[in-house]
Amino acid sequence: MNSRMLSLDLTLNCERSVLYKEKRLAYNALFWPGAPPNLEQARGYLRALKLQRLQRERDKLLREIETAVQSQDSAWLTDLQSAKSNLNKELRKLARP
């Protein structure tokens, strides 16, 4: 398995894990003592979690882009830049109210 495939596999596994953790956190919030969060609060919490996940992914992509530039791997760099573009779209969409 080459490094790009390994990186993609790790990203997918990490994303699945984060999504599971986000869902689990939202589920557990239903049973916390005190007043449960209202719908807007819950959406805000989930939005914040998604924003953090996207920021971690962006940071990882930027490190990989640096590595691709240093190794002069133009095919990998093209893939990473495309992924970065998609990630930036997701971040902009998340930033909209």
Residue type, 85: S
- What tokens were used for 28? 């557990």
pLDDT at 94: 84
Q: Where are the domains of the chain?
A: 3-95
Whole-angstrom Cα distance, residue 26 to residue 46?
8
Q: pLDDT (tens digit, 9 = 90+) per residue, 62-82?
A: 999 999 999 999 999 999 999
* CA neighbours closer than 13 Å in the CB half-sphere of residue 95: 8
What lies within 8 Å, CB to CB, of 47 at 6+ separation is 94
Tokens 């449960």 sit on residue? 36
Q: What mean pLDDT is reported for the chain?
A: 79
